[in-house]
Structure 1
């Protein structure tokens, strides 16, 4: 390590200690400090690590957490960025925060923002790339899905020996000819090969990446994901190495499913989380874990920061769920439709840079699928509460019965007064951070992640 890198590391570690022991927070500032002294400090910090990069539109944080929990079963200490701070400065902070790694096999599992894959890959030379999905998300930052994938590919091309572990049900991930070793995962629920299905007309990403014809499906799981084929040019889903073979149980708080010949269980809901578990399973198997070790890791998995995070407050069972784009929101709404009990709904909408400044995406999600009779109270907040309230009114909810409360202190008080035991909070990123900060100040949850 050079003098410059050593000084940058010492400065970053000192600032991290101060922020977390005195100010009780800070997920990216120590990384920023270190990078000001040495912009390439990540190269020194990551030396000796086998690095796994997890990227894609949805599911990065949960997939990363599941991979880490699985690899810990075999290798013990695993470095990661659990806060979801997934740009370069947050990744540098993750290395600064990690103590001395005495594991025989030093592994880092890093969630990386799609637009940051190239700059991160230039410095730490990953062993594997895990690709979850590509959906339309924050058009002001990423552009169309093909632009987003191009950003990821630009990073992968810098490391042609790294293994690509990708969602084979996403047609875009097998569309570019790359020299890397490839492993694909996906759903195989026993659909008949003669099935010829189309996605709904408003679904993004269903044009063939080879010839622009509309893709068909032998089996469609959700959005543009499934066993796709092009009737025009013959492009089709690649051969899968790891598969989900059945879904045995689904509630908002539990999923049971089969991969290969073994059943698995995770304490979290949503079909999209089965994909996250499948991605983690694929990585774990590629890194030498047995089915039993993976099953034990999944069983012990805890909910993570802001991703169906379970909070107990005044006798309420509160699920805090991050929503950020139409596909992810739609899947969360579908998950809520598996709830058997009455519940209250809290929706928080912000439009800061980290959320995406265009809120029109809420009109592409199927709020109309919710049952207003089952939802006993609706509480709306966030900077753009008026947009959300209007969207719910159009979906059939009584505007006069909604509680509008953009102030987080009084919002938390209102949550405690809601008429149901179960409460679901659907929140954009910066609103979720603000709500958690207030809850930590009130000692409802612990500060930090």
Structure 2
């Protein structure tokens, strides 16, 4: 019997039975206290290797897409699918998958797919010796925790340089900070990116975080901006430019057309809306190809994708359609607002702004969000969360031209918003991360849905 694994399994059961959460972090923390070497020891049974997915936005969606593709290929997947992305979350997932003797059965066909917090990547990579690491994007997020994006970029450069020679990198060619990691790593690299199209923006968004060359600090120029600072970029001073993607996608009528590394062409349906969803699909496809998964499994993984909690999740509450979208930083929230700006007016909104540790105490980022995109399109909005007043002030200056209510208490705000939404109408709920946990818990209960950690389990 393995004491650390048994302790983790017991802790998970107790936490869930007491209704204290999903048991996705505490059991791992307990197991690591009992056995600090637990992660590499258990991961040694993942004979198909492991994949780490990191980035500011899209980790949960990309990891779940990839896990679905791997399962469709006949692999057993061990994943921190509920989104606990520190080392303790990885440890908890491994313990959950292990038998009481500390072994993971069917090891030959077992693959680890772990989403990893940006700052946790170096530690996780050292513990797991991953088969591949996927870098999605780098945006401002939790400034008081991470500092500016340059700090995280340097952490990533050191991590990429320290990876073993057998680890492949999957990089977003359209993000200058991410694409530049190839030079630091000097190992097999697979780039993915989006081709220019009608979706391109004429200039960088106000929330763009990478205006300067990662090599010489010169100002970058863009031939096409997909969103934020992602696009067809080039530095006129040193000549550094967007690398040619091995996997390149184009958006056409809600479908993603792909040019594969071997020159072949395929198309996939987009399971979620928005340009950022196309990037998540491309990242998962590129990684699946790097792992040697067959196209049939890749396609099945996308078609059968059921979404991730709070990521464009749809519920029905008392006859009202509720659309829940995580909104935790300027780049991501601007994408959500662009999607909503294309919906038929009038819109009904419930927005939740918290300043918990997982959100970041500094909420000044809301002033970099283009709420003005919805001017004249909103019937009414409710501002809630621990920083509801700050959010209401920002919405006031956005001149949305709508009725605005301020209700800091999340459950009361949800009751107010549901009550103002007529049966058959749609309510759009936009919470920051810690607000999402509470908001989704309440909405799921009202909708008769299980907790998110149960839905995350295959």
TM-score, with structure 1 as normaliser = 0.91
Look up the match of 2:237. 232
1:146-194 CA distances to partner (integer Å, 9 max, x unpaired)? 2112222333333232100010111112324322211100012379xxx
Q: Helix, strand or coil for the counterpart of 1:363?
A: helix
Q: Helix, strand or coil for the counterpart of 2:109?
A: coil
Aligned pairs for 1:316-355 within 5 A: 316-340=320-344, 342-355=346-359
Q: Does 1:48 align with 2:53?
A: no
Distance 1:443 1:211 in 2: 53
Aligned pairs for 1:41-440 within 5 A: 41-49=38-46, 50-98=49-97, 100-102=104-106, 104-161=108-165, 162-175=167-180, 176-189=183-196, 199=204, 203-244=208-249, 246-249=250-253, 255-260=254-259, 261-340=265-344, 342-372=346-376, 374-398=377-401, 401-419=403-421, 421-440=425-444
Distance 2:136 2:109 in 1: 25
1:219-268 CA distances to partner (integer Å, 9 max, x unpaired)? 22111111211111111111210010x2123xxxxx42211222211332
Distance 2:441 2:330 in 1: 26
Q: Helix, strand or coil for the counterpart of 1:177?
A: helix
Distance 1:179 1:296 in 2: 33
Is contact 2:134-2:283 (8 Å) kept? Answer: yes
Distance 1:121 1:129 in 2: 8
Is contact 1:347-1:381 (8 Å) kept? Answer: yes
Distance 1:179 1:332 in 2: 36
How far 1:37 sits from its partner (Å)? 1.3
- Select which of 10, 15, 21 maps to 1:19: 15
Q: Helix, strand or coil for the counterpart of 1:27?
A: coil
Which 4+ stretches in 1 moved above 6 angstroms?
none
List runs of 5+ in structure 1 lacking aligned partners: 250-254
Is contact 1:408-1:438 (8 Å) kept? Answer: no
How far 1:102 sits from its partner (Å)? 2.2
Q: Helix, strand or coil for the counterpart of 2:162?
A: coil
Distance 1:377 1:201 in 2: 25
TM-score, with structure 2 as normaliser = 0.89
Is contact 2:129-2:164 (8 Å) kept? Answer: no
How far 1:48 sits from its partner (Å)? 2.7
List runs of 5+ in structure 2 lacking aligned partners: 99-103, 260-264, 454-458
**Greater shift in the superposed pair: 348-357 or 113-122:** 113-122
